[in-house]
Chain A
Amino acid sequence: MSKVVVITSGKGGVGKTTTAASIAIGLAKQGHKTAVIDFDVGLRNLDLIMGVERRVVYDFVNVINGEATLKQALIRDKRADGLFILPASQTRDKESLTKEGVESVIEELKSEGFEFIVCDSPAGIEKGAYMAMYFADEAIVVTNPEVSSVRDSDRVLGLLQSKTRKAEQGDVVKEHLLIARYSPVRVDEGDMLSLEDILDILAIPMIGAIPESGSVLQASNRGIPVILDDKSQAGQAYSDVVARFLGETVPHRFLEVEKKGFLQRLFA
């Protein structure tokens, strides 16, 4: 059984692509054949975050238009067995994504035995975002602890339950909330929405919170998804998210203010 998972948020810059990259790697590392598709046609970024930008020959739109086969366009990840990346086209626009075209690519991936098809949605609620969510079975909604991000996520949650194939069939897209850029210190100081605040407003189950961390920036600088940095809190938090997504019960970490140790006080 294949599962289509959309990583979406409404607002831009909240960490969708970072999340898509890390979750895709995490799923593949757990032995699941996984494809991750960049739906941000015209502004592709997944290839950069995954560090495969120099290996892009054909893209998603080429496959939809029949200019390349799916096999030609899929980039095999060298760090995780069974992970393939389908980059977006940089020179076309979102109108190139047709429902039939997207469906045919997803169906072909399913028939090729991919267990997870991760769809990295563009920001906004335009065509690219609709196409990314339309065939989804599950959705990971990425939110930052910040008012506009929370409201946009709420809007997207509404669209997930009305503008998807599942919704049209009277079914429900399973929703997960992922809170990125979470800073327990700032929550403690009263300057950041807490997890409880966000969960109260959005009322969907939380699959994890990723602590704000410099390692995320370092990871994207290098093109190595942060989940591979198992020394960083963000990387470990993403690993936990993947485990929870696969049905394990893992306690949440990094949500409380850490007591500063001697060394940390020294460097502070």
Chain B
Amino acid sequence: MLNTLRLSISDIPKISGILQTKINHTAQFFLNSPLVLDCQDLGDKCANLDFSALYKVVKSVGFVPVGVRNVPDDCLKYIKQSEWAIMRAATKPSRKKNTGKVDEPKANRVEVISRPLRSGQQIYAPEGDVVILHQTSSGSEILADGSVHVYGTLRGRVLAGVNGEKSARIFCQSLQADLVAIAGCYQLLDDADTELKGQAAMIRLEAGKLIFEPLA
């Protein structure tokens, strides 16, 4: 478990007070667990923050101070003078909204449905994929933050990457959907220029266009 302390003020006594209250509420829960500072909201105010003093405060309430992330480049020197490590973003900042809560492991959750999806039924897989081992009916709706796999006839509406994930894909044994969408880019199958209707198919998004490919 890696805890994140998202800073919005640079006043050490205040931060100390808030941390102490938090710890009191949850007793042993945070004891000896690692803590990362996030300075995204602090911005230029980083210059006013005494990182060494904060290090001591964090340690005194029972956390193990680890590092600081999202520090403006011109403030890096303040960190270097302190005990904190600098954590650089390895990739682009994640699209996920930072809620200030504990970060969960980012492995995809997979929702497996082993019954036919009937008209009027809706499946939503947040932060993951949907696998349907059966057919789906006209009037049903599948939504997934990730990809959608249907091991049967796909009818109804199917929306993959509903949170904007452009790499999401749709796979099915027999493409008879009414509507397909990936990352908000949707198409009625009737309007789609594809020979694959009724056949095993994969749909992906490329340059803002849905590409239909046969599934060998």
Contact = CB atoms under 8 A, between A and B. Distances in A.
A203 B116 contact: yes
B92 interface: no
Nearest to A152: B119
B4 interface: no
Interface in B111-147: 115-121, 134-135, 137-140
Interface in A160-200: 161-162, 200
Nearest to B135: A203
Contact of B115 (A152, A161, A200): A161
Nearest to A147: B138
A182 B116 CA distance: 25
A155 B137 CA distance: 9
B139 A154 contact: yes
A151 B120 CA distance: 10
Task: Among A154, A155, A162, A200, find the residue whose CB has the most chain B CB atoms closer than 10 A.
Answer: A154
A133 to B, nearest CB: 14
Nearest to B116: A203
B150 to A, nearest CB: 13
A200 B134 CA distance: 12
Q: Classify the secondary structure of A's interface with B.
A: helix
Interface string A130-168: 000000000000000000000110110111011000000
Nearest to A200: B153
A157 B116 contact: yes
Interface residues of B, number: 14
Q: Classify the secondary structure of B's interface with A.
A: loop
A155 B120 contact: yes
Task: Among B119, B121, B134, B138, find the residue whose CB has the most chain A CB atoms closer than 10 A.
Answer: B119
A71 to B, nearest CB: 39
Nearest to B153: A200
A203 B120 contact: no
A201 interface: yes
A200 B198 CA distance: 13
B137 A201 contact: yes
Nearest to B118: A158
Contacts of B120: 155, 158-159
B119 A203 contact: no
Contact of A203 (B121, B134, B140): B134
A12 B78 CA distance: 75
A203 to B, nearest CB: 6
Contacts of A157: 116, 118
Task: Among B118, B135, B138, B139, find the residue whose CB has the most chain A CB atoms closer than 10 A.
Answer: B118
A161 B114 CA distance: 12
A155 B173 CA distance: 22
Interface string A197-211: 000110100000000
Interface string B42-85: 00000000000000000000000000000000000000000000
Given A151-B138, A155-B119, A158-B137, 4 more contacts: A154-B139, A155-B139, A158-B117, A201-B137
18 contacts: A151-B119, A151-B138, A151-B139, A152-B119, A154-B118, A154-B119, A155-B120, A155-B139, A157-B118, A158-B118, A158-B119, A158-B121, A158-B140, A159-B118, A161-B115, A162-B121, A200-B153, A203-B134
Interface of A: 151-152, 154-155, 157-159, 161-162, 200-201, 203
